[in-house]
Amino acid sequence: MLGPGHTSPADHRPPVFSNWRGWYLLLLVWLAAQLMFYYFLTSLFA
Amino acid sequence: MTTIDWLVLFAALVAIVVYGVVKTRGSHNMETYLRGDNTLKWWMIGISIMATQASAITFLSTPGQAIEDGMRFIQFYFGLPLAMIIISAVFVPVYYRLNVLTAYEFLEQRFDLKTRAFTAILFLLLRGLSAGITIFAPSLVLATVLHWRVEVATVLIGLLVMIYSVSGGSKAVSLTQRLQLSIVMGGMLLAGAMAYTMLPENLDFAETIQLAGYLGKLNLINILPADAAQHLPAGVNSVNELSLLQKIDLILEDRFNIWSGMIASVFLFLSYFGTDQSQVGRYLGGRNLTESRLGLMFNGLLKIPMQFVILFIGVLVFVFYLFNQPPVFS
């Protein structure tokens, strides 16, 4: 289920959209970036 | 309320109801009623998921939370992307493979009818109570502005929502939620812009941020409770002297911090997005498994920034009312 290219038969999108590991990594990286930004904002006035 | 205010208010209410009923006309079977017609694309699913979670309370109370307690409420949502990953990887493929209409149908297949009935009853009870509070919040606002009784406003809003929900099913709910989300987000952004532009002219954006920050409203990340220094155990003189167990004790008594956000919220959002039919029905209405999973990714990417914007608007309103008299309603 975590592997790339796990699509259903009716899926006409390019395989890159179904690279679920890539999506999960993107979500984690985006979360980490937000945490760093919010920590920076907090530390300005701590 | 002027004549135009009345016209806009009731035109919007009527338009939303009519839109939901008209767009979903036609014969329904149980599958289309509960799951929609399986034509939803990923961005529609994503918006529908966000709109389902973002009730009127989000837009009324979240800015108020920022005014009262600062922006630390955002930590509550840090577990959401992690929950989206787990649901996308584990829950959604199972629902699609078994071709279920509801999350509880899965339980019947996995266990028995008694289990399905029990969890479905629990869902209806909890969601019904939650919906009552969700309707009560805007009813308070409507009743205050229109000088109505709050019970009348609550019944009116409930009846209007029931008209298109009952007649159109899942698809009507998805369609109208997108419309309502755009209206409410637009209104919020306008309120934030107005709050900022009506600040004193000699106060620029950086100074506004500084003012909010030094008054403790930009407290986005809490590793330890902000007031830990006021709740030190006997024999401890400063936060640095706290043992690990004492720190955990303080953290457990604090409502919003990074630990509750990264640990407890993951389970909360797993239960909400993975098992609550109000959310499961949204992404099961997708064209296919890929669209449903992309919709969840969309939600995972945008939810926290959306909450940041809503909380920040609350902070702008807070600064605004430092220079203006807050309204007081009897």
Note whether residue A11 is domain-resident. no
ipTM over 0.90: no
Q: Which residues on A lie below 8 Å from B297 (Cβ)?
A: 23, 26-27
Q: Can you name the residues that pair with B286 across neighbouring β-strands?
A: B40
Q: What is the pLDDT of residues A18-30, one digit of tens each?
A: 788 999 999 999 9
B65 close to B314: Cβ distance less than 8 angstroms: yes
Range of the domain at B146: 3-222+257-320
Note whether residue B128 is domain-resident. yes
* Cα–Cα distance measured from residue B273 to residue B46, given in angstroms and rounded to the nearest whole number: 12
Q: Which residue in the set B84, B213, B293 is minimally distant from A45, CB to CB?
A: B213
Note whether residue A40 is domain-resident. yes
Q: Which residues on B lie below 8 Å from A42 (Cβ)?
A: 218-222
B36 close to B48: Cβ distance less than 8 angstroms: no
B78 touches chain A (CB under 8 A): yes
Q: Which residue in the set A9, A11, A41 is minimally distant from B218, CB to CB?
A: A41
B45 close to B282: Cβ distance less than 8 angstroms: yes
* Cα–Cα distance measured from residue B73 to residue B311, given in angstroms and rounded to the nearest whole number: 8
Q: Which residues on B lie below 8 Å from A6 (Cβ)?
A: 93, 289
pLDDT of residue B115: 94
Q: Which residue in the set A9, A18, A38 is minimally distant from B220, CB to CB?
A: A38
CB B193: neighbour CB atoms within 10 A?
Answer: 12
pLDDT of residue A11: 54
Indicate yes or no: CB of B304 within 8 angstroms of CB of A6.
no
B148 touches chain A (CB under 8 A): no
Note whether residue A8 is domain-resident. no
Q: How confident is the model at residue A4 (pLDDT cuts 50, 70, 90)?
A: very low
Q: Which residue in the set B81, B90, B214 is minimally distant from A45, CB to CB?
A: B214
Torsion, CA B241, CA B245, CA B250, CA B256, rounded to 10 = 120
* pTM for the whole structure: 0.86
Note whether residue A25 is domain-resident. yes
Note whether residue A10 is domain-resident. no
B75 close to B222: Cβ distance less than 8 angstroms: yes
Note whether residue A7 is domain-resident. no
B25 close to B151: Cβ distance less than 8 angstroms: no
* Cα–Cα distance measured from residue B15 to residue B13, given in angstroms and rounded to the nearest whole number: 6
pLDDT of residue B169: 75
Q: Which residue in the set A27, A30, A38 is minimally distant from B74, CB to CB?
A: A38
DSSP B221-261: --SS-TTGGGGPPTT--SGGG--HHHHHHHHHH-SS-HHII
pLDDT of residue A16: 66
Q: Which residues on A lie below 8 Å from B258 (Cβ)?
A: 35
Structure tokens belonging to residue B326: 């807050």
Q: Domain count for chain A, please give it.
A: 1
B290 close to A11: Cβ distance less than 8 angstroms: yes
Q: Which residues on A lie below 8 Å from B218 (Cβ)?
A: 41-42, 44-45
Range of the domain at A30: 17-44
Q: Domain count for chain B, please give it.
A: 1
B76/chain A closest Cα distance in angstroms? 12
Nearest partner of B298 among B40, B62, B96, judged by Cα? B40
Nearest partner of B88 among B263, B299, B305, judged by Cα? B299
List average pLDDT for each run of 10 residues in chain B, which is 330 residues long. 81 81 71 70 87 84 92 95 96 92 90 94 91 87 87 89 79 78 86 90 91 93 85 82 87 89 94 92 87 93 94 94 78
CATH number at residue B200: 1.20.1730.10
Structure tokens belonging to residue B270: 């797993």
Q: Tell me the residue type at B238.
A: S
Note whether residue B17 is domain-resident. yes
* Cα–Cα distance measured from residue B309 to residue B256, given in angstroms and rounded to the nearest whole number: 18
pLDDT of residue B239: 82
* In chain B, residues 238-297 whose CB comes closer than 8 Å to chain A: 258, 287-290, 293-294, 297
Q: Tell me, what DSSP letter sits at residue B219?
A: -
Q: Which residues on B lie below 8 Å from A9 (Cβ)?
A: 288
At residue B286, what are phi and psi to the nearest 5 degrees?
A: -75, 165
* Cα–Cα distance measured from residue B217 to residue B164, given in angstroms and rounded to the nearest whole number: 40
User: CA Rg, chain B, in Å?
Assistant: 22
Interface test with A, best of B84, B97, B208, B218 (most A CBs within 10 A): B218
Higher-pLDDT residue of A7 and B327 is B327
Indicate yes or no: CB of A38 within 8 angstroms of CB of B301.
no
Note whether residue B76 is domain-resident. yes
Note whether residue B49 is domain-resident. yes
